[in-house]
A and B are shown apart, each in its own frame.
Chain A
């Protein structure tokens, strides 16, 4: 019995130390060396206003730098898929070489953590399925992408983006190559952070808000004016 408890304590301690090691540090994180190589971009399109804001942000990027691009959408969110395809078409029409490449972007569909009106009783099982699938996509299925899912993952809510963040953490836990995570709080959030903002604040590499009031509590985050 004593040995079982000792083992359990050691295991918990090891997990805690490992998680502590991979949490973002208050010091300025090391950035990749200056390079002209392309970077793989993954963005989560959270439907509705989340999708519109995210695509506005993505539209500002140089697609010759950020490719391939992975649009992560929730199961059944065809509207976000159409909007992203429309943005890609517009960009391709106004740009050259790489963005015209048919492999320049892909869609990744993940199950919803919780469907609207779903009972709380069954939520843990669907959430677990969502995390498992996200983990599978982020970690294991990425081997064909030169061992890494993406160089950067941009999130702006809602719920399902937490499962993606957890999947990235599982990746980090096992020491696998993991994307940098950037969270952009919605323009609609002036005085209070969204739930996903509160949850992801200490987990992501960059936490960006669009109203300075949100940083008055002195906790981590950055403000660069309105991004959209």
Chain B
């Protein structure tokens, strides 16, 4: 199975460093994720030098897992599609995109962001059962205990509410 890790449009050093630790890699391979695709953005981590000389991506074998890592792509759609598990930062855009594709999701809110509303959203959605929220130090445990079948399905996009609101305001209904 394949796990996809993404940090979004900037960087999240803590998450990428955590993913490359033996304990997280062991948890992933234990659970059958033998291929890991990492979108690392501009994160600073120990394998950075492999992306230093203008290389777009690198591939390596570590602790029984095949890791493919790259910085950015215009769209992550195909990567979400082929993933069996997504581990991401807690940006609302990424969360909505992944949950709408019915992909099991573990989010790690970035504690270094000035205004930490990522944590609020992650906790609220975890309470509703749509995802699991973790931390960089707890990630190995969370993966170990993660049970995708216990998650609650995220509702599909319902444009009707905003359409009704604006149609009312503008006198169409």
Decide if A152 touches B173 in the complex (CB within 8 Å): no
Decide if B96 touches A228 in the complex (CB within 8 Å): yes
Q: Which of B118, B124, B165 contacts A224 (CB 8 A)?
A: B165
Q: Chain B nearest CB: distance from A18 CB in Å?
A: 24
Decide if A206 touches B169 in the complex (CB within 8 Å): yes
Q: Chain B nearest CB: distance from A30 CB in Å?
A: 10
Assembled-state Cα–Cα distance A124/B2 (Å): 51
User: For residue B165, which residues in chain A have a CB less than 8 angstroms away from its CB?
Assistant: 182, 206, 208, 224, 227
Q: Chain A nearest CB: distance from B130 CB in Å?
A: 11
Given known A-B contacts A52-B93, A187-B96, A226-B155, A61 and B169 have beta carbons under 8 A apart: no
Decide if B166 touches A31 in the complex (CB within 8 Å): no
**Interface size, chain B (Cβ < 8 Å):** 28
Check if B23 is an interface residue, CB within 8 A of chain A: no
Assembled-state Cα–Cα distance A33/B169 (Å): 10
Decide if B170 touches A39 in the complex (CB within 8 Å): yes
Check if A118 is an interface residue, CB within 8 A of chain B: no
Check if B168 is an interface residue, CB within 8 A of chain A: yes
Check if B167 is an interface residue, CB within 8 A of chain A: yes
Check if B91 is an interface residue, CB within 8 A of chain A: yes
Given known A-B contacts A35-B171, A224-B161, A227-B162, A192 and B120 have beta carbons under 8 A apart: yes
Contact bitstring A159-184, B, C-beta under 8 A = 1, else 0:
00000000000000000000010101
Decide if A190 touches B168 in the complex (CB within 8 Å): no
Q: List the B residue with the shortest CB-CB distance to A191.
A: B120
Contact bitstring B76-96, A, C-beta under 8 A = 1, else 0:
000000000000000111001
Q: Chain B nearest CB: distance from A63 CB in Å?
A: 11
Given known A-B contacts A57-B162, A226-B155, A65 and B167 have beta carbons under 8 A apart: yes
Assembled-state Cα–Cα distance A224/B166 (Å): 12
Q: Chain A nearest CB: distance from B129 CB in Å?
A: 15
User: For residue A52, which residues in chain B have a CB less than 8 angstroms away from its CB?
Assistant: 93
Contact bitstring B93-118, A, C-beta under 8 A = 1, else 0:
10010000000000000000000011
Assembled-state Cα–Cα distance A189/B118 (Å): 9
Q: List the B residue with the shortest CB-CB distance to A151.
A: B170
Decide if A228 touches B157 in the complex (CB within 8 Å): yes
Pairs across A and B, CB under 8 Å, 26 listed: A31-B169, A32-B171, A34-B172, A34-B173, A53-B93, A57-B159, A57-B162, A60-B160, A60-B163, A65-B167, A65-B170, A65-B172, A152-B169, A154-B166, A180-B170, A182-B169, A186-B92, A188-B117, A189-B120, A190-B117, A190-B123, A191-B120, A192-B120, A224-B161, A226-B155, A227-B161
